[in-house]
Amino acid sequence: MAKFGTVFCEEFVRVEYRDGAWQQPLMQPIGPIPMHPAAHVFHYASTCFEGFKAYRRADGAAQIFRLRDHVARMQKSAASLRLPVPLAAMLSQMVIDLVSRQASKIPEPPGSLYLRPTLIGTEKNIGAAAAPSTEALLYVIASPVGDYFAGGAKALKLLVDDQRARTTEQLGSTKTGGNYAAALGPTLDAKAAYGVDQVLFCPHGDVQETGAANFLLLSDKEVITKPLDSSFLHGITRDSILRLAAELGYRVSERNITVSELLELVATHEAVLSGTAATLSPVGCLVHNGREIRVRDGNPGPNAEKLRAALQAIQTGRAPDTHGWLTAV
């Protein structure tokens, strides 16, 4: 399987917003989108997106994981950027129609079909720095992806940055490309300077998230993570893991964590990143003030694997979906 997110299905679905209304969605061959050089998105970053997956069950049927929640989060992102808010029924049906037409492209588990709805402002107006785009394009593309941990899970090394935030507080919970751009420079600098994989942003000592994933601590009895606020992304995988952890008997502690406490807890707790692509990625080492701190024994831990397996069993239909998370196609 090619590198994650580099292979695409031959069709995508798109719909325009103009004259104050959403038009009729169109399914068409994937290809370049004609855009005016003055489009709002190029100059004022009016864009948001989602990322989630469809899976193939043992009987061959396709099912989409937490479609309603991703649509709802995209509506919130659009509203925060003052973009036209997609209609929930319209966007949901666009995703369902695309998955239905591309169901044969869904790899066998643990592979999946990664789905990327994207909304961009298209109004041709370079004088609209302080005004929202009155026109927009919403589209959904699909990418077959394989097992993220093919060859085994590698424990990550993180730089603990106790000064900078990943992004601005007013856009922290918005899934917009600008947040990822803001984190890119510090992440690349940290990779070059310390040989790390990611930066754990902890502004003023408050442990938040990395550039593309939420952060959790796990023990045999407890899951600890920062409570939701506007400063960081409200991950759907994070929410799924917390709900499953509670059902499996873990104590779920959503509370603020300081860097000082984090550096103490990793002696006994597993550290993981949660996100759509990998579900849970183990962390084996932290770098803080030039010092390397090993997370437990430095290897992936059993609690992350237990929680990942529980979630993937539901996603692939090997365990009952008692939460109503799956949308059949």
Confidence class of residue 308 from pLDDT cuts 50, 70 and 90? very high
Average pLDDT of the segment spanning 266-290 = 96
- Burial (CB < 10 A; 0-12, 13-18, 19+), residue 324, is exposed
Confidence class of residue 150 from pLDDT cuts 50, 70 and 90? low
The residue among 191, 182, 271 whose CA lies nearest residue 232 is: 182
pLDDT score at 1: 58
Half-sphere exposure of 94 (CA within 13 A, CB side): 29
pLDDT at 148 over 90: no
Q: Long-range contacts of range 17-24, CB-CB < 8 Å, 24 or more positions apart?
A: 17/84, 17/135, 17/136, 17/137, 17/138, 18/135, 20/134, 22/84, 22/86, 22/87, 22/90, 22/138
Ranges of H-type helices in 102-235: 177-194
Q: Which residue of the set 53, 105, 157, 175 is catalytic? A: 175
Which positions ≥6 away from 206 have C-beta within 8 Å? 226, 256, 257, 258
Please write the tens of the pLDDT for every residue from 169-218: 899 999 999 999 999 999 999 999 999 999 999 999 999 999 999 999 99
Domains and CATH numbers, the chain: 11-145 (3.30.470.10), 156-315 (3.20.10.10)
Q: How far apart are CA 208 and CA 216, in angstroms?
A: 10
**Is residue 140 helix, strand or coil?**
strand
pLDDT score at 127: 97
Rounded to the nearest 10°, the torsion over CA 158, 162, 168, 171 is 50
Name the strand (E) or helix (H) holding 56.
Answer: strand 52-56
pTM for the model: 0.96
Q: Which structure tokens are listed for 155?
A: 């424990």
Q: Does the active-site annotation cover 175?
A: yes
Please write the tens of the pLDDT for every residue from 218-271: 999 999 999 999 999 999 999 999 999 999 999 999 999 999 999 999 999 999
What DSSP character marks residue 39? B
Average pLDDT of the segment spanning 294-316 = 97
Half-sphere exposure of 95 (CA within 13 A, CB side): 29
Q: Report the chain's mean pLDDT, rounded to a whole number.
A: 96
Average pLDDT of the segment spanning 139-146 = 97
